[in-house]
Chains A and B, each alone.
Chain A
Amino acid sequence: MNPKLLASWIGCIALLGAAGCERAEPPQAFPQAAAEGWVAAFNSGDAAGLTLMYTQDSEVLPPDEPIVSGHAAIEEFWRNYNPGQVRLEISEVETSRLGDYWYREGTYSSLVQDEGMPRIGKFMELWKKEGSAWLLYRHMWSPNAPPPAQMPDVAPAA
């Protein structure tokens, strides 16, 4: 082959390769709409809707309970959790892009019906893209103080 022609071809392939490299880093923002949808579903007591916000291979890591794996178990978990009776707010959120994942952390305030004071806690989340949707892959949280039920409400008798 003519050396000039060969050089052009190789140069072309190199440019295509470089363009492919550029495409490999999508500059995307954290899927805020999905995160807000989660809170809306939680506060309206929509366990089935909440479940759709998790990946098929998702795991929920709740405090004082074993890991909850997969859609069926996650839906049952949230149904038993009785969302809708709890008003949740999220704040102090920080997000970081980790390769194909998003990491999110923050604090929550949940006001349980018949409790005067909200329970405050913190959470860690890992989000993953499944198809065209960003979904929760790992979801862990814990309160900043023991739940009221664990706190002795009267001093033990001497």
Chain B
Amino acid sequence: MTTRPATALFVLLLAIAGCAQAPVPEPFPQDVADAWVERYTANDAAGIAALYTEDAQLLPPDQEIVSGRAAIQEFLARTNPPGSAALEIATVETRVLGDYAHRQGSFLLKGPDGTALRAGKFLELWKKVDGNWLIHRDMWSANAPPPALATPDEPA
């Protein structure tokens, strides 16, 4: 008869463990975010594209949505060729929400001499696919309009 309380206690512990597991979020996959920056710096478009889900989307400013890994790779190869401005990324906020995660951050594009070219912000939606954290949505924009185009009435 003494096994009965033990069995019931086991069930109770299982129930508590089940409850306790749900609200504890796992840490944000910072290693993947760091890999993105390393690969961007190395102008590795294929390497960066591999960090996105198959059906990921880039939502770039002043351009149409870029859908799918192949199109993302093509976009990155075109916009980040060797010799591009250096990119600095800072994470402002992360939240892991089940199989999704949210990240907000800021970016700074720097010229070869270290001068700041453009600053901006981004929002990302991450998704866990087969145990791997990947970027699912990636939207960014600058904090100011692009430098004015040279106009004909500008002094020579």
- Taken together as a complex, chains A and B put the C-alpha atoms of A101 and B95 apart, in Å, by 10
Q: Which residue of B lies closest to A24 (CB)?
A: B22
Q: B7–A103 contact, CB under 8 A? A: no
Q: What is the size, in residues, of chain B's interface with A at 8 Å between Cβ atoms?
A: 45
Q: B1–A145 contact, CB under 8 A? A: no
Q: B143–A100 contact, CB under 8 A? A: no
Q: A103–B125 contact, CB under 8 A? A: yes
Query: What is the total of A-B residue contacts with beta carbons within 8 Å?
Result: 123
Q: What is the size, in residues, of chain A's interface with B at 8 Å between Cβ atoms?
A: 44
- Give a binary string over A121-132; 1 marks a CB under 8 Å from any B CB, 0 the rest: 010101000000
Q: A156–B151 contact, CB under 8 A? A: yes
Q: B139–A4 contact, CB under 8 A? A: no
Q: A146–B16 contact, CB under 8 A? A: no
- Residue B41 lies at the interface, judged by CB distance under 8 Å to chain A: no
Of the candidates A18, A59, A67, A142, the one whose C-beta lies within 8 Å of that of B139 is A142
B24 to chain A, nearest CB (A): 12
- Residue B116 lies at the interface, judged by CB distance under 8 Å to chain A: no
Main SS at interface, chain B: mixed
Main SS at interface, chain A: mixed
Q: A3–B1 contact, CB under 8 A? A: yes
Q: B59–A66 contact, CB under 8 A? A: no
| CB neighbours of A114 from chain B (8 A) | none
- The stretch of B27-35, B42-50, B98-106 in contact with A is B98-106
What are the 8 closest A-B residue pairs judged by CB atoms, nearest first?
A99-B97, A98-B97, A10-B8, A17-B15, A142-B61, A63-B141, A14-B12, A7-B8
List 9 extra interface pairs beyond A64-B146, A98-B97, A98-B102, CB under 8 A. Answer: A17-B16, A61-B123, A61-B141, A96-B100, A99-B98, A101-B102, A124-B59, A145-B63, A157-B152
A interface residue numbers (CB < 8 A to B): 3-4, 6-8, 10-11, 13-14, 17-18, 20-21, 24, 59, 61-67, 96, 98-101, 103, 105, 122, 124, 126, 138, 140, 142-147, 150, 152, 156-157
